[in-house]
C-alpha cells in the first residue's frame, strides 16, 4: 500500500480546512436588527429554534433601526429585522430590500419615576409629553435614529413641540438598555419598547406610567436585502429565515417567548 507523502497530506488537510471554512461561511447569514429584539432576549429564544429547523446560524448585529437599515444598504447584512414601517417601506422602494413582511408587534410605554412628578400617568402619550415639556422634566431620548427614536419624534410632532421639548430633554445617542439605565440613575422619563422594559433588571424607582394609547403600537418587519444591489448577499439562506419567521412554526416560537408569564411579542404575519 502506498501512503501519501507528508507534503501531500498537508495539502489535503489544507484543502479540507478550506472547504470546511467555505461551508461554514455558507451555513450562516448576517442579520441587522434592533437593540430591542436583542436586549429583550427574543433572539436567544428564537434563533436556536431556527437553527434546529434549518441548520443555519444567524449572526445578529443589533443597532438602532436607522443604523440597521444603513448597514443593509452598504451590503453588510443579508436580512433586516426592524421596527420603523415608514423607513422599511422606503428601503424597499429604493431597491435595497426585496419585500417587507410584517412579523410581530408589541407596544411602546412611557417609563418614569413612580412618584410621577410631571403627572403624566394615563393612556395619552401626547398629553404626557406636553406635560413633560411644560414642566421641563428630565427626559432621556435615545437620539439614535432607531425605531423607538422615530416613534418618539412622531409623538412630539403631535404635541407640536418638535423643537421645544423642555430644558430637561437630553439625547444619549444610545441603545434602549443604556437609555433605561440613564433614566434609572437620574430619575428621568424615557420612552421604551415594552419587551426591553420587561427584560430590564436595573429599574430602580422607575415604573410604566403611560400605556394603552393606540398610537403606541409597535410593528416589526423583516426584509431580505436585494442581491441586485450587492451580489454577495446570501439571498436563498436569508429567504429561509424570512419564510420560517412568518411560518406557523416561527410565529408560535415568537408567541412562546415570555418573561414572568407575560408575552413580549405578538405574531401577526400575514395580517
Q: Taking the domains of the chain in order of start, what are their residue ranges?
A: 6-105+217-267, 106-212
Cell numbers for 125: 402619550
Strand duo 217-224 + 101-113: pairing: antiparallel
> What is the chain's pLDDT, residue by residue, as a tens digit (271 residues)?
444 554 444 544 444 444 334 444 448 999 999 988 998 999 999 999 999 999 999 999 999 999 999 999 999 999 999 999 999 999 999 999 999 999 999 999 999 999 999 999 999 999 999 999 999 999 999 999 999 999 999 999 999 765 679 999 999 999 999 999 999 999 999 999 999 999 999 999 999 999 999 999 999 999 999 999 999 999 999 999 999 999 999 999 999 999 999 999 999 998 7
Maximum Cα interatomic distance, the chain, rounded to a whole number of Å: 90
228 strand-pairing partners? none
Q: Are 142 and 179 in contact (CB under 8 A)?
A: yes
pLDDT at residue 271, rounded to an integer: 76
Could you give the CA distance from residue 251 to residue 248 in angstroms, rounded to a whole number?
Answer: 5
Domains 6-105+217-267 and 106-212 share a fold: yes
pLDDT at residue 270, rounded to an integer: 85
pLDDT at residue 11, rounded to an integer: 47
CATH architecture of 6-105+217-267: 3-Layer(aba) Sandwich (3.40)
Q: Which CATH superfamily is domain 106-212 in?
A: Periplasmic binding protein-like II (3.40.190.10)
pLDDT at residue 16, rounded to an integer: 40
Amino acid at each position: 500500500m502506498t501512503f501519501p507523502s507528508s507534503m501531500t497530506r498537508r495539502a489535503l488537510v489544507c484543502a479540507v480546512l478550506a472547504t470546511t471554512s467555505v461551508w461554514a461561511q455558507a451555513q450562516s447569514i448576517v442579520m441587522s436588527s434592533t437593540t430591542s429584539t436583542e436586549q429583550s432576549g427574543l433572539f436567544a429564544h428564537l434563533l436556536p429554534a431556527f437553527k434546529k429547523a434549518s441548520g443555519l446560524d444567524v449572526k445578529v448585529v443589533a443597532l438602532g433601526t436607522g443604523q440597521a437599515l444603513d448597514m443593509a444598504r452598504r451590503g453588510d447584512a443579508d436580512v433586516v429585522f426592524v421596527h420603523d414601517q415608514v423607513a422599511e417601506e422606503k428601503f424597499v422602494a429604493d431597491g435595497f430590500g426585496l419585500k417587507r413582511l410584517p412579523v410581530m408587534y408589541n407596544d411602546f410605554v412611557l417609563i418614569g419615576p413612580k412618584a410621577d412628578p410631571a403627572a403624566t400617568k394615563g393612556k395619552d402619550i401626547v398629553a404626557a409629553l406636553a406635560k413633560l415639556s411644560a414642566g421641563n422634566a428630565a427626559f432621556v431620548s435615545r437620539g439614535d435614529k432607531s425605531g423607538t427614536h422615530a416613534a418618539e419624534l412622531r409623538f412630539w410632532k403631535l404635541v407640536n413641540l418638535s423643537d421645544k421639548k423642555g430644558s430637561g430633554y437630553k439625547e444619549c445617542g444610545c441603545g434602549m438598555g443604556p437609555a433605561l439605565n440613564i433614566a434609572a440613575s437620574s430619575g428621568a422619563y424615557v420612552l421604551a419598547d415594552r419587551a426591553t422594559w420587561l427584560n430590564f433588571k436595573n429599574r430602580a424607582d422607575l415604573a410604566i406610567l403611560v400605556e394603552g394609547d393606540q398610537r403606541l403600537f409597535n410593528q416589526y418587519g423583516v426584509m431580505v436585502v436585494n442581491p441586485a444591489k450587492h451580489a454577495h448577499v446570501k439571498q436563498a439562506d436569508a429567504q429561509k429565515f424570512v419564510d420560517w419567521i412568518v411560518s406557523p412554526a416561527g410565529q408560535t416560537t415568537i408567541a412562546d417567548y415570555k418573561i414572568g408569564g407575560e408575552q413580549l411579542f405578538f405574531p401577526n404575519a400575514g395580517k
